[in-house]
Amino acid sequence: MSTKIIMDTDPGIDDAAAITIAINHPAFDLDLITTVAGNVTVDKTTLNALKLTRFFNSAIPVAAGAAQPLIKPFEDAVRVHGVSGMPGYDFPTDLAQPLAETAVEALRDHIMQAEQPITLVPTGAYTNIALLFKTYPEVMPHIKEIVAMGGTLGQGNMTSAAEFNVFTDPHAAAIMYASGVPITMVGLDVTMKALLTPATMQQLPSLGRTGTMLHALFNHYQDGDQTGLPMHDVNTLFYLLHPEAFTTEAMWIDVQTEGPANGETVGDTRGAYHAGQTNATVCVDIDAPAFNAWFLKTIAAIG
């Protein structure tokens, strides 16, 4: 039986790879894509989601979400993902329209109407999730789990302490982690271990139109180095399908919302402040060769 998921996302190049897999993998039933401001502005993230659904001739609905974080001023990641968010490939231009309703309304409707609990997969800032929980708290018992890319127990990529998705809207992250919904944190310290190697990259153009499209995008991705490219957001889907490839620990995650540590996810690994309490399953290690093999196999199957 496939897992019914909703992706809340800010494509973005690694998001594009995650959406590609979510649309096409038979183990997923992708019910809805909601967009948020993050890597680029929300009008562009919405356009990019529509480009991907059109590329795969998919009827999965797309709903546009928050244009700004809850409180903090918006900062994009154009330096990493380019001005458009998905440069390097000429997508079709005859695109569908996003839903008339907002992302929060669409999330509520799809979650409440689903015949089974939904898994939320946020791979951008968590603004839409926070607004959903504050506006329609009745949805929370109908969510099976949240598997979120974001945060880190180690070095950040926006500040010394903060990872981009949480840094973008730390107040939203704090609301999500306080919600009581089961959360798995797939953080930067793990996704930076699961690099697509140069050997993996070289094989992509031979894997059909999907591999060719992703390879073109990856060539414009200003992240990683000569050792490989991080596919941060794809790790959420890899976790859902292959949790055995990850080492995890249950702990309490606090989110800092001010000062020099703004956006830091603090894992209470010693139980110093939340003894005996946990609010997240936190990924702390990953089988990187298994990730590369799975990624290639998955893209080859899409063709």
Active centre residues (catalytic):
232
Distance in angstroms (rounded) separating the CA atoms of residues 230 and 62: 25
Q: How far is CA 271 from CA 113, 131, 248, in A?
A: 39, 30, 16
**Both tokens assigned to 113:** 């109407």
Half-sphere exposure of 119 (CA within 13 A, CB side): 20
User: Do 82 and 11 meet the contact criterion of CB atoms below 8 Å apart?
Assistant: no
Stretch (H or E) spanning 188: helix 188-191
Residue 272 DSSP label: S
User: Do 8 and 31 meet the contact criterion of CB atoms below 8 Å apart?
Assistant: no
| Nearest to 63, CA basis, from 41, 35, 30 | 35
**Both tokens assigned to 182:** 């089961």
User: Do 11 and 86 meet the contact criterion of CB atoms below 8 Å apart?
Assistant: yes
| Nearest to 114, CA basis, from 35, 239, 30, 53 | 30
User: Do 132 and 139 meet the contact criterion of CB atoms below 8 Å apart?
Assistant: yes
